[in-house]
Amino acid sequence: MLQRNIQPEFKSMQPLNLTAPQCCKAECGTSIHLLPIQDQEVVKIDFVFNAGEYFAEHPIIALSTLKMLQEGSTSKTSEEIAERLDFLGAYLFCSMTKDYSTITLCCMEKHAKEAYDIVSDFILHPTFPEDKLAIHKSNRLEQFKIDSERVEIKAQRLFTNTLFGSQHPYGKILEQSDFEYITRKNLIAFHKQNFTAEKTNIFICANLQSCIVQDLLAIIKQIQLPKSETIQVPQYKIVTNDSRSLRVPKENAVQTALKIGKVMVNRNHPDFIKLQVVNTILGGYFGSRLMTSVREEKGYTYGIGSAIISMKESGYFIISSQVGKDVHEKALEAIFAELQRLRTELVPEEELNIVKTYMLSSFARSFDGAMATSEMLLDTVLYGLDFTEYYNQMWNLTNSTQAKEIQELANTYLHENSMYEIAVG
């Protein structure tokens, strides 16, 4: 009988038992990654292309190409595509990072073949109709004008520009004049160059024992993505701004958007995992030091946080917040005080244990079901990392991080004098 007056026994979290994904090749050479689902009649397919802004001569073209794919193929109009996918109960989502373009399809197993045929058709044979492109361009331009008035977005644009430089795809600031490059000719050229066999990974999450899925996989293996004319990754030099502080006043702004940070290592670096522990202590969760100091104790903001953003060719560390215009200098002082504290004081054991428990719990939730696990699979494959080896290492290194290591990492990577700061508003 359940004794509600007796506290349950505390148990330490145990490492996850991860199943390695299966891999195979399509006839055209594209890599296919398979993650099994048990007892669910649903299929999730991710098409991931090396077709982010990093690969575009004019970065604005990349997102427009991705968004325009479903606006029509040689066999279906955009209305026919949308209507049929809706009838099948399929979910279609397009997303982009600086490095990758992703098309995600989710649907019931029994409709997977037809839904896949529709999506693969507009991936392989898009038409980029001029009338739809004009609407897309107009809508995107209006959204750009709205975003350009927001201090948060303006500060983020200036921040990455300061870190990477105006000639680097990670740092280039979008200008209104760039919209002239959104032309059907440019989109066709970008699609031809980057939506190719060698630059594509396909991720399938499904019940691999199902006959329907087996038939679907056989069809997917026959996908005929074109060969790349060149698979060489372009190289850009990072040119960080000489000035470490930039203030941009904005009339009538209620708040000041703050961005503080620096260029940082990415997921492939051996220090990346333990740096996540350092970051979580500083500003990576609601009980972090920045939240406690800047929000709860001083009341300068409703929210503040920090993160280490990993991209394929680099990464960056960022502290982000919006504070009252009259206290933004005091907020900066409080932020830099917490950075200095990380370097000069050992993290108390109780605080470190709380952070580790939080991180390991969040980590475990990231693998709650095959659909969530498939997202974690993308993060390793795209960085050339082994799925089970990397995440087992992440668990072990997070769990074993000591206070002295945190202090050493903070001194190496997060010295307050190495930071760049942007204030807009």
The token duo for 41 is 């009649």
The pLDDT value given to residue 395: 94
On the question of pLDDT at 200 being above 90, the answer is: yes
Instruction: Report the pLDDT value the prediction gives residue 125, as an integer from 0 to 100.
Output: 97
pLDDT in tens, 284-318: 999 999 999 999 999 999 999 999 999 999 999 99
Query: Does residue 37 have a pLDDT over 90?
Result: no
Dist. CA 149–CA 113, nearest whole Å:
45
Would you say residue 232 has pLDDT above 80? no
Nearest CA to 314 out of 420, 422, 170, 199 is that of 170
pLDDT at 1: 65
We find that the CATH architecture of domain 22-220 is 2-Layer Sandwich (3.30)
Distance (Å, whole) CA 194 – CA 198: 9
CATH superfamily name and code, 245-424: Metalloenzyme, LuxS/M16 peptidase-like (3.30.830.10)
Is 124's pLDDT higher than 90? Answer: yes
Decide whether 22-220 matches 245-424 in CATH topology. Answer: yes
Query: In the chain, pLDDT over 70 holds for what percent of residues?
Result: 99
pTM (2 d.p.):
0.92
What does the DSSP assignment read for 251-290?
TT-SEEEEEEEEEE--TTSTTHHHHHHHHIIIIISTTSHH
Q: pLDDT digits over 43-102, tens only? A: 999 999 999 999 998 999 999 999 999 999 999 999 999 999 999 999 999 999 999 999
The strand ranges marked E within 215-371 are 245-248, 255-264, 301-310, 315-324
Give just the sign of the alpha carbon dihedral 354, 356, 360, 362: positive
Structure confidence by residue, pLDDT tens digits, 128-182: 999 999 999 999 999 999 999 999 999 999 999 999 999 999 999 999 999 999 9
Return the domain boundaries, the chain: 22-220, 245-424
Confidence of residue 230 (pLDDT cuts 50, 70, 90): low
